[in-house]
């Protein structure tokens, strides 16, 4: 392997894609595009505005809301209201119903509360309908439907000092008060469109993958054949994790499919299989899911473990790196030696992934264009066993844009390098807002003690203790991975732990007859100081050397704020140990109650 040549190639490919407009290259789904975000799945029912009080309001009905509410119910706190903009629970899995959608982390660890709700995932990587149904199962099992409000968006959230509660306003005219509020509004839930010249002029049909239009395509979320596309020429723009999952279905159904690619994804082996019921019954002894979660996290983050229960692409990635590092001679067991080993291991993997393209895709030029020239963690790694094969289907064409993106959209179709591809339908697999202002993505700002807005308090970056508590925002909790375990390979594990923690804090506050709980300024600062002693973001994820994407702020320089987008310095396993001890000690050190 000529390391330098490979590094040069990676850099050339990155440079081709760097653009000065970063996140501004994307369009918000407003004005002419507002219809793109309407809910195609559940009719909106008119209802009276509500004016009432709840003990806990949770904003967001995805995994974060469900697991936190479940733990609250288990703790005996039943007056929990989930407020959700979709028509049901599910969050990501409510919206993303495109054909082929499935989880990329093994179901046994990805799907929360399996043991509690007695569900066996049917496949190693469950498909979206099963995950959505599981969200509904959690909702029913814990009685969360009765108090929930769907198709409701919070638009004001303000701490009321006199009453010591939160005032919540919504787009349905509700005025609700809550003693405690928690938020799990999700990192990737606002769809975006590429800001391609002429995008507004297209006269055919168009939709975003997160609002799949089955009325137009035929078929259904289970992957049924999309019969209406048999006479259609279809363009799909984008080749990220979503496109990788739906292209095989489109390739089978469309008269002609044009896949417009700016940067290829890396596509490793998927290896999905049905769950063996007998094996599951024997394995699922009490505490099984926690054992799997702990085992996955330890394997994935390079912890000390004898076995790998999950055996997937994520744990293989870490196993490979560990083996490489352990094979180093004693004189190379230093920082440089390890970075070298990491790079070698990455180059080997990416060579394997590129060779896989050649072994599957028959057209040589297409195969060449489907090869990813960057380190594996520069962009979201993908795993699939039918995506590359789809390019062998007659009528499926890869239109590579040489890193430049689509040039223009006309009323008839899509233009690349001066050539117009006339199509009946454009499907935007163009992803979701990540690097934009958190308040823009949430749709509201949180106003804490003394009228301080969260957006102002966080103007120089996120400030929390445990990624959950913010000083000046009493009785409020945030449920997400950053400044906590930051375990990106299995986000739900972060959420279930936060859910447990928040439930025990709220129970402790209520049992003690307290009205308020809040992190002290000092405790918040100590946590930030601790986070900053860590290695920062992993050397590859988010590196400016990477080809641009949402992992590295579209290739723009990292800001002071992004330095705070980190996790517990000792890693996810240590964080989970720490937080469980912190919670179980009952001292809730760093919080004040009054």
- For binding to ligand NDP (CB under 6 A), which residues are involved? 17, 102-104, 188, 194, 196, 237-243, 245, 260, 262-263, 380, 401, 405-406, 429-432, 549-550
- The sheet carrying 413-416 orders its strands as 408-409, 413-416, 419-422
In terms of CB distance, is 44 or 404 closer to ligand NDP?
404
Tokens of 435: 């690097």
Tell me the C-alpha distance between 36 and 29, whole Å.
Answer: 7
Neighbours of 146 (CB within 10 A): 8
The three-state secondary structure class of 312 is: coil
**Beta carbon of residue 432, minimum distance to ligand NDP (angstroms, whole number):** 6
**Beta carbon of residue 154, minimum distance to ligand NDP (angstroms, whole number):** 23
Q: Tell me the Ramachandran region of residue 320: left when phi exceeds 0, alpha when psi lies from -120 to 50, beta otherwise.
A: alpha
Q: 574 φ, ψ to 5°?
A: -65, -40
Beta bridge partners of 408: 415
According to DSSP, the β-strands at 154-160 and 165-170 are: antiparallel
Sequential DSSP letters for 339-392: HHHHHHHHHHHHHHHHHHHHHH--SHHHHHHT---S-GGGS--EE-SSHHHHTT
**Beta carbon of residue 457, minimum distance to ligand NDP (angstroms, whole number):** 27
**Beta carbon of residue 298, minimum distance to ligand NDP (angstroms, whole number):** 21
**Beta carbon of residue 311, minimum distance to ligand NDP (angstroms, whole number):** 18
**Beta carbon of residue 226, minimum distance to ligand NDP (angstroms, whole number):** 18
Tokens of 212: 């799949």
**Beta carbon of residue 430, minimum distance to ligand NDP (angstroms, whole number):** 4
In terms of CB distance, is 190 or 517 closer to ligand NDP?
190
In terms of CB distance, is 316 or 344 closer to ligand NDP?
316
In terms of CB distance, is 239 or 464 closer to ligand NDP?
239
According to DSSP, the β-strands at 175-183 and 476-478 are: parallel
In terms of CB distance, is 195 or 303 closer to ligand NDP?
195
In terms of CB distance, is 90 or 238 closer to ligand NDP?
238
Neighbours of 336 (CB within 10 A): 8
The three-state secondary structure class of 78 is: coil
In terms of CB distance, is 157 or 406 closer to ligand NDP?
406
Residue tagged 């909702």 (tokens): 139
The residues, ordered by sequence, that sit 6+ positions from 320 with a Cβ below 8 Å of its Cβ are: 345, 348, 349
What distance separates the 2 farthest-apart alpha carbons in the chain? 72
In terms of CB distance, is 99 or 194 closer to ligand NDP?
194
**Beta carbon of residue 313, minimum distance to ligand NDP (angstroms, whole number):** 11
Tokens of 172: 């349905």
In terms of CB distance, is 260 or 296 closer to ligand NDP?
260
**Beta carbon of residue 52, minimum distance to ligand NDP (angstroms, whole number):** 36
Neighbours of 540 (CB within 10 A): 18
């Amino acid at each position: 392997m000529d390391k330098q040549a490979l590094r040069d190639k990676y850099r050339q490919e990155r440079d081709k894609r760097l653009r000065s407009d970063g996140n501004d290259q994307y369009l918000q789904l407003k004005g002419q595009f507002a219809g793109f975000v309407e809910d195609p799945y559940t009719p909106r029912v008119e209802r009276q505005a509500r004016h009432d009080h709840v003990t806990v309001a949770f904003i967001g009905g995805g995994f974060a809301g469900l697991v936190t509410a479940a733990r609250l119910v288990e703790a005996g706190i039943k007056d929990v209201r989930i407020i959700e903009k979709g028509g049901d629970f599910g969050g990501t899995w409510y919206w993303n119903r495109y054909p082929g959608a499935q989880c990329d982390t093994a179901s046994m660890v990805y799907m929360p509360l399996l043991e509690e709700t007695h569900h066996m995932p049917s496949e190693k990587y469950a498909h979206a309908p099963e995950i959505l149904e599981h969200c509904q199962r959690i909702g029913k099992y814990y009685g969360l439907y009765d108090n929930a409000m769907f198709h409701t968006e919070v638009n004001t959230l303000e701490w009321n000092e006199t009453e010591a509660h939160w005032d919540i306003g919504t787009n349905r005219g509700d005025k609700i008060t809550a003693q405690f509020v928690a938020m799990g509004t999700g990192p990737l839930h606002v769809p975006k469109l590429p800001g391609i010249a002429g995008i507004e002029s297209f006269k055919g049909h168009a939709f975003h993958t997160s609002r799949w239009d089955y009325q137009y395509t035929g078929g259904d979320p289970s992957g049924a054949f999309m019969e209406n596309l048999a006479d259609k020429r279809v363009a799909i723009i984008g080749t990220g994790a979503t496109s990788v999952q739906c292209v095989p279905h489109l390739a089978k159904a469309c008269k002609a499919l044009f896949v417009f690619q700016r940067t290829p994804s890396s596509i490793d082996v998927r290896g999905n299989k049905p769950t063996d019921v007998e094996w599951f019954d024997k394995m699922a002894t009490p505490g099984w899911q926690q054992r799997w979660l702990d085992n996955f996290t330890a394997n994935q983050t390079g912890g000390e473990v004898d076995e790998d229960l999950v055996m997937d692409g994520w744990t293989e990635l870490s196993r490979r790196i560990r083996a490489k590092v352990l094979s180093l001679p004693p004189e190379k067991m230093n920082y440089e030696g390890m970075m070298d080993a990491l790079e070698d291991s990455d180059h080997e993997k990416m060579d394997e992934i590129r060779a896989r393209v050649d072994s599957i895709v028959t057209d040589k030029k297409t195969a060449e264009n489907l090869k990813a020239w960057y380190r594996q963690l520069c962009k979201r790694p993908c795993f699939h066993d039918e995506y590359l094969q789809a390019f062998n289907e007659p009528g499926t064409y890869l239109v590579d844009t040489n890193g430049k993106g689509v040039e223009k959209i006309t009323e008839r179709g899509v233009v690349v390098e001066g050539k117009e591809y006339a199509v009946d339908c454009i499907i935007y697999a163009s992803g979701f807002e990540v690097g934009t202002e958190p308040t823009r993505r949430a749709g509201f700002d949180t106003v804490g003690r003394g009228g301080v807005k969260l957006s102002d308090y966080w103007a120089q970056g996120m400030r929390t203790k445990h990624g959950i508590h913010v000083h000046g925002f009493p009785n409020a909790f945030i449920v997400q991975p950053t400044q906590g375990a930051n375990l990106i390979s299995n986000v739900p594990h972060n959420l279930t732990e936060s859910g447990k923690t928040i439930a025990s804090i709220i129970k402790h506050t209520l049992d003690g007859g307290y009205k308020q709980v809040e992190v002290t300024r000092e405790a918040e600062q100590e946590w930030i100081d601790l986070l900053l002693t860590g290695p920062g973001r992993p050397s590859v994820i988010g590196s400016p050397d990477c080809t641009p994407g949402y992992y590295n702020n579209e290739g723009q320089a990292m800001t002071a704020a992004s330095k705070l987008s980190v996790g517990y310095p000792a890693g996810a396993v240590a964080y989970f140990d720490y937080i469980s001890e912190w919670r179980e000690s009952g001292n809730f050190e760093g919080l004040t109650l009054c």
